[in-house]
Amino acid sequence: MATLQDIVYSAAINLLSALVFLLAFAILRLQPINDRVYFPKWYLKGIRASPIHSRAIVSKFVNMDLKTYIRFLNWMPAALRMPEPELIDHAGLDSVVYIRIYLMGLKIFVPITLLAFAVLVPVNWTGGTLEQIKDLTFSNIDKLSISNIPPGSKRFCAHVLMSYIFTFWTFYVIYKEYKTTAFMRLQFLASESRRPDQFTVLVRNVPPDPDESVTEHVEHFFCVNHPDHYLTHQVVYNANKLANLVAKKKSLQNWLTYHQNKYERNPSSKPTTKTGFWGLWGTRVDAIDYYTAEIGKLSEEEDKERERVINDPNAVVPAAFVSFKSRWGAAVCAQTQQTSNPTIWLTERAPEPRDVYWDNLAIPYFELTIRRLLVAVGLFFLIFFFMLPIAFVQSLASIEGIEKVFPFLKPVIEMKFIKSLVQGILPGIALKIFLIVLPIILIIMSKIEGFTSLSSLDRRSAVKYHLFLLVNVFVGSIVTGTAMDQLKTFLNQSATEIPKTIGVSIPLKATFFITYIMVDGWSAIAAEILRLVPLVMFHLKNTFLVKTEQDRDQAMDPGCVDFATSEPRIQFYFLLGLVYAAVTPLLLPFIIVFFAFSYTVFRHQIINVYNQKYESGAAFWPDVHRRLIIGLIIAQLLLLGLMSTKEARELTPLLVALPILTIWFHVFCKGRFESAFVKFPLQDAMVRDTLERATDPNLNLKMYLQDAYIHPVFRGGELERPEIIDEEEDNPLVPTTRNSQKSQSKYSSDVSSGAGS
């Protein structure tokens, strides 16, 4: 058991490391040379230009203005200043709603914390059980927790009552948030300018027809069944091979640039390379000639393949993007069933063009269900087998474990300071390492499952990651942490015993989770703002690959909100907060700090750094809500389990009502709000159609939609009709009106005051 002192040590270390990160960030971001790493968003928007031209050589790279170093935290208020509507214009609804999750954390937990400290802490502190038991070692933290209440005590009424209040408060907050988000989404969709996906429906599983090609079949089907509304359609090509060629060419191009740059800087020696794998073996040749020749060969191959794909009827997959004359027609087609066989002619609202995941458009229904089954089983094994190494490492990471395995370390470890350090940090780090490789596996699994848009891939991965965190981090830490052997017993244990087993361990693990919050929640967030990896990558690219200003733009890696991993991690903090609110209120302030700090950091990031890959209009909110409900139910069940071991039988029936109420609340909210995130209401569609007919009666919609849904590999190439693509790109997602541009520039100069632009 870690004592209060361990916590203080650990807190100090983590605060220190967070402070170091923040300081480093404060210094690095003020250097003009790093400007593109810390403010890429503004460059991408075209509002900020490189500071190279107007300065002396030194100040091009280093900020010499010492004044600006003094207030090293001044990015924080700057980040908080931009009002929400402008933030939506600037960064899109997805990002804004994402940071609202942190805000929601504050809204839930600040009042809960105040109440818990006012009521539960005094009740627990005066419980006086732990002092009576002589042979038990306990820390002061435990005296603040529910463990300090004697079994069968009437004091548990306070916990039950509080758990009701916490639940209803959470209901209130998340209901309001769901409502606000739904409203924001509808506002956002209504204020959007014309976009191809508003008129388009993705049709999958076009059945084969012996007499007609896919494109004819699609045209005939929709001409017959949507005669007044069908406009045009685009078939989908299987361009995976072509995409590979394009990617390969791009990589060769990079090498060519690298060698050319090298040659320019040092014209005396011509760069050479080897022809074999990765340039490691084979005959040595002149690098520039070699790569130029290779790229020429690839270009030819690419052209041939492009030709083949466009002309080969077999390269057309049985899917199409069907466009309609009106938003109303598209909304109708997306929401209705087309034929009596519900596994063919599947229609759904088309994702926006940059959100399409092209590889998955052609999976037949039966294969899809098989894939889902396999992924579900795979996920189960992934979650299950990940459990063992974590448990092993954690058992090592205890003082006793280390002494057992490495007896020679005993004298070192027994030193008070190091002991605290080991106990405070190691378990958290052990967990952290395991979590790094995971997101990639999960996104691959989601791709196998066959989802057709990047946003849905992200959402599905988040579901998996959340499950993983629940089982491995939450349950895994609680149960194996107390005893490695419990794992095996646990697997053979019955389902309602689990809340009890976990519930009993909950108060004991408070210190572990406090440490975890500090490592994962505080330091990691501070590291996020420092952007070490993009910083290094940018400077490497800048040195070796960049020739023109455009290259430099491409070398920026603004990144984006990684919904698939970040959101489940936030949910984990919600879960911790909800679980410990009635058990060990001391944990709550740590969570509040996490939410407040993260909110500031991510607000700064979405303003200055992240560039979203797609815009789904906050389509993920129902998932967020559902996971909050899951967290609430887990918290309630664990409290129930804990209570039932405390000889407080008469109180447990009261607690049973909570999960039922919570499920009802979920059903209620789902019915009330969810369809705002799934369907596009006909009334709104009609309003916009009518408006558009009035304002733009001569619009050539067919022309506008013609090439909207074309595979990106065709877009990059030398295809004809590039003007259409330009037109589409002239209609960006977020309308950059003059007004919002102005305010953006204002904030841009605010947040980087002194950065020297």
According to DSSP, the residues that pair with 232 across neighbouring strands are 323
Report how far residue 390's alpha carbon sits from residue 667's, in angstroms, rounded to the nearest whole number: 36
Minimum gap (Å) between residue 640 Cβ and its own copies: 13
Residue 203 host element (H or E): strand 200-204
Report how far residue 393's alpha carbon sits from residue 515's, in angstroms, rounded to the nearest whole number: 16
Evaluate whether 204 touches 321 at the Cβ level (below 8 Å).
Answer: no
Whichever of 249 and 666 has its CB closer to its own copies, that residue is 666
Stretch that binds its own copies, among 146-154, 369-377, 538-546, 711-719 (CB under 8 A): 369-377
Q: Collect all residues with Cβ–Cβ distance below 8 Å to 698 and sequence separation of at least 6.
A: none
Stretch that binds its own copies, among 168-176, 361-369, 428-436, 729-737 (CB under 8 A): 361-369
Evaluate whether 701 touches 210 at the Cβ level (below 8 Å).
Answer: no
Minimum gap (Å) between residue 335 Cβ and its own copies: 5
Reduce the DSSP state of residue 72 to 3 states and report it. coil
Minimum gap (Å) between residue 643 Cβ and its own copies: 14
Strand pairing class (346-349; 200-204): antiparallel
Report how far residue 278's alpha carbon sits from residue 31's, in angstroms, rounded to the nearest whole number: 35
In terms of Cβ atoms closer than 10 Å to its own Cβ (0-12, 13-18, 19+), residue 436 is exposed
The answer to the question of residue 673 lying near its own copies (CB under 8 A) is yes
Whichever of 136 and 377 has its CB closer to its own copies, that residue is 377
From candidates 175, 365, 392, 434, binder to its own copies by CB under 8 A:
365
Token pair belonging to 236: 């989908």
User: Around Cβ 337, how many Cβ atoms within 10 Å?
Assistant: 10
DSSP 720: S
Whichever of 326 and 611 has its CB closer to its own copies, that residue is 326
Evaluate whether 420 touches 10 at the Cβ level (below 8 Å).
Answer: yes
From candidates 73, 418, 533, 660, binder to its own copies by CB under 8 A:
660
From candidates 126, 140, 337, 739, binder to its own copies by CB under 8 A:
337
Whichever of 406 and 668 has its CB closer to its own copies, that residue is 668
Report how far residue 241's alpha carbon sits from residue 219's, in angstroms, rounded to the nearest whole number: 27
Stretch that binds its own copies, among 316-324, 521-529, 598-606, 670-678 (CB under 8 A): 670-678
Query: How many residues bind its own copies, per CB under 8 A?
Result: 46
The answer to the question of residue 224 lying near its own copies (CB under 8 A) is yes
Report how far residue 221's alpha carbon sits from residue 216's, in angstroms, rounded to the nearest whole number: 8
Stretch that binds its own copies, among 317-325, 408-416, 505-513, 671-679 (CB under 8 A): 671-679
Token pair belonging to 705: 């939609």
Whichever of 253 and 493 has its CB closer to its own copies, that residue is 493
Minimum gap (Å) between residue 236 Cβ and its own copies: 22
Reduce the DSSP state of residue 648 to 3 states and report it. coil
Stretch that binds its own copies, among 3-11, 205-213, 224-232, 540-548 (CB under 8 A): 224-232
Evaluate whether 395 touches 484 at the Cβ level (below 8 Å).
Answer: yes
Report how far residue 486's alpha carbon sits from residue 83's, in angstroms, rounded to the nearest whole number: 51
From candidates 71, 354, 372, 742, binder to its own copies by CB under 8 A:
372
Q: Which 451-510 residues touch its own copies, going by CB under 8 A? A: 493-498
Stretch that binds its own copies, among 74-82, 156-164, 331-339, 407-415 (CB under 8 A): 331-339
Name the CA radius of gyration of the chain, rounded.
Answer: 29
Whichever of 136 and 373 has its CB closer to its own copies, that residue is 373
According to DSSP, the residues that pair with 321 across neighbouring strands are 202, 234
From candidates 137, 340, 550, 698, binder to its own copies by CB under 8 A:
340
User: Around Cβ 139, how many Cβ atoms within 10 Å?
Assistant: 18
Q: Which 167-196 residues touch its own copies, going by CB under 8 A? A: 186
Q: Which 686-725 residues touch its own copies, going by CB under 8 A? A: 686
Stretch that binds its own copies, among 266-274, 334-342, 581-589, 590-598 (CB under 8 A): 334-342
The answer to the question of residue 664 lying near its own copies (CB under 8 A) is yes
Q: Where are the alpha helices (DSSP H) in 45-155?
A: 57-61, 67-70, 75-81, 84-91, 93-115, 121-125, 140-143
From candidates 135, 228, 264, 723, binder to its own copies by CB under 8 A:
228
Whichever of 569 and 666 has its CB closer to its own copies, that residue is 666
3-state secondary structure 360-399: HCCCCHHHHHHHHHHHHHHHHHHHHHHHHHHHHHHHHCCH
Minimum gap (Å) between residue 657 Cβ and its own copies: 9
Stretch that binds its own copies, among 98-106, 147-155, 663-671, 696-704 (CB under 8 A): 663-671
Whichever of 145 and 501 has its CB closer to its own copies, that residue is 501
Please tell me the total number of residues recorded for the chain in this structure: 757
Evaluate whether 259 touches 291 at the Cβ level (below 8 Å).
Answer: yes
Report how far residue 639's alpha carbon sits from residue 644's, in angstroms, rounded to the nearest whole number: 8
From candidates 12, 19, 136, 373, binder to its own copies by CB under 8 A:
373
Stretch that binds its own copies, among 212-220, 419-427, 616-624, 669-677 (CB under 8 A): 669-677
Minimum gap (Å) between residue 300 Cβ and its own copies: 45
Alpha carbon distance, N-terminus to C-terminus of the chain? 53
Whichever of 338 and 731 has its CB closer to its own copies, that residue is 338
Stretch that binds its own copies, among 306-314, 368-376, 509-517, 607-615 (CB under 8 A): 368-376
Minimum gap (Å) between residue 684 Cβ and its own copies: 6
Chain residues in the site for its own copies (CB under 8 A): 186, 224-226, 228, 331-332, 335-340, 342-343, 345, 365-366, 369, 372-373, 376-377, 493-498, 660, 664, 667-668, 671-676, 679-684, 686
